[in-house]
Amino acid sequence: MENYDVDLPDLKDLTTINSFGLGFLLLVSILIVFLPRRSAIVAMILTICYCTLGQRIAIANLDFTILRILIALGWIRLIVRRELFRFRLNAIDKAIVLWVISSVTIYTLLWQTWGALIYRLGFTYNILGSYFLFRYLIRDLDDIYRVIKILAIVIIPLAVSMWIEKATGRNLFSIFGGVPEFSVLREGKVRCQGPFEVSILAGTFGATSIPLLVALWFRGEGMRLIAIAGIISATVITLTSSSSGPAAAFVCGIVGLCMWRFRKRMRIIRWGILFSLIALHVIMKAPVWYLMDRVSGLLGGSGFYRSYLLDQAIKHFNEWWLIGTKYTAHWTYSTLLSEPNKADITSQYIGEAVNGGLLTLILFVTIISLCFRALGQLLGEMEEQPFPLRLTLWSIGTALFVHVVSFFSISYFDQMMEIWTLLLAVISTTSGSRAKWKVDWSQVPGPAHSEVKALNN
């Protein structure tokens, strides 16, 4: 097992920004301040894809990464340029706020130290600061397509750099610090990580991006080349990570997209899957969650550890359900090098439980449920709307599904939390702008009706 030490203790409370970081910070700062609102988000996506968390400025024992600085500049821009507008918080917005409040409160009660409070306030700043910044920058369908287009273009050089990393074993992003110069080898395979702190997060980024990029293909002739380049790049990022979690997520994304033809039967399919899992749980000698171990046997990886970790979390429910737990070393055979009292938590769901108790876990799952429900309701109302429009909704839902699958194999940190909040903001925007999604076929750029007639049914 790998130990994912996400705190970078050697960099905490230290200013580690170098000349490359300063130059990058200047560039993205100019972009987020001076670009038109519709394009300002390019600064955030560039930072997610090309700058490590090793670039930071410490002020009064507070660490400001380039992403955190950009969040502040983004809000200053919204205020100075009067781009703030009133909008009513929808169910997704409220659930995210409650999840953050629960996470901060319970974690602080668990540890009862100022350090824990400051750490969780930083988490609050990152999540709510970026989420509502995205909500103000992404306001309608055109903005959503623009975000996907920017993502498709920006990840092309990232894929090239990770291909080079795969060939040479050296990470070009090590010039920013926070990631090793020489890539990790596992079973003779180079596990490329690019600017991300671990390879599995890099691969997860690629896998979760693919469903969104597919929607560009049906946007119009001018978008097809960009869509192809983006999909190929995201696939390269996924494969060069040499991780089974992203590989499984990639497959789930393809399956999710293929389920479009069965969209009207999804309720039956969901219940069928649930009853099948219950039947397997009864029939199998091991609990049904050990299927992750069976899948990893085909794809490679640490499926047994993840199955075992989930099994232990369930067995030790009494230890974490109220306010989480500080000590999990007795759960598994793999602990963090920097914190021997903690097991290597390789699941977002278990991470939510350990750090925030049952309430925080329920709120996190509620966010996911509300997102699926919002997309499902909107898609049901769009049956008479153009195919590209409806497929975009389906692609967004598939991307959400891929994240849900990935949460079983990795606990998000570093830039992936920004990717997650970006998707949540996109979904929240769609659910709050139903009228804007109902447009005439003639007004939607895209392929001729004859080209999509078969898929439309």
- Mean pLDDT over all residues of the chain? 88
In the chain, the number of structural domains is 1
In a domain, 271, yes or no: yes
- At 125-161, the pLDDT tens digits run 999 999 999 999 999 989 999 999 999 999 999 999 9
Q: What is the 3 state secondary structure string of the chain? A: CCCCCCCCCCCCCCCCCCHHHHHHHHHHHHHHHHCCHHHCCHHHHHHHHHCCCCCEEEECCEEEEHHHHHHHHHHHHHHHCCCCCCCCCCHHHHHHHHHHHHHHHHHHHHHCCHHHHHHHHHHHHHHHHHHHHHHHHCCCHHHHHHHHHHHHHHHHHHHHHHHHHHHHCECHHHHHCCCCCECEEECCEEECCCCCCCHHHHHHHHHHHHHHHHHHHCCCHHHHHHHHHHHHHHHHHHHHCCCHHHHHHHHHHHHHHHHHHHHHHHHHHHHHHHHHHHHHHHHCCCCHHHHHHHHHHHHCCCHHHHHHHHHHHHHCHHHHCCCCCCCCCCCCCCECCCCCCCECCCCHHHHHHHHHHHHHHHHHHHHHHHHHHHHHHHHHHCCCCCHHHHHHHHHHHHHHHHHHHHCCCCCCCCCHHHHHHHHHHHHHHHHCCHHHHCCCHHHCCCCCHHHHHHHHC
**Banded model confidence at residue 383, pLDDT cuts 50, 70, 90:** confident
> Taking 80 as the threshold, does the pLDDT of residue 8 lie above it?
no
- At 220-279, the pLDDT tens digits run 767 899 999 999 999 999 999 999 899 999 999 999 999 999 998 988 999 999 999 999
In a domain, 46, yes or no: yes
In a domain, 1, yes or no: no
> Taking 90 as the threshold, does the pLDDT of residue 359 lie above it?
yes
Average pLDDT of the segment spanning 10-17: 68
In a domain, 9, yes or no: no
Q: How much is the pTM?
A: 0.91
In a domain, 14, yes or no: no
- At 278-303, the pLDDT tens digits run 998 899 988 988 888 887 666 656 78
- At 421-452, the pLDDT tens digits run 999 999 999 986 554 555 443 444 444 343 33
**Banded model confidence at residue 12, pLDDT cuts 50, 70, 90:** low
> Taking 60 as the threshold, does the pLDDT of residue 16 lie above it?
yes
In a domain, 11, yes or no: no
User: Domain range for residue 171?
Assistant: 19-456
- pLDDT value of residue 250: 95
> Taking 90 as the threshold, does the pLDDT of residue 2 lie above it?
no
**Banded model confidence at residue 46, pLDDT cuts 50, 70, 90:** very high
In a domain, 7, yes or no: no
- Better-scored residue on pLDDT, 4 or 324: 324
In a domain, 297, yes or no: yes
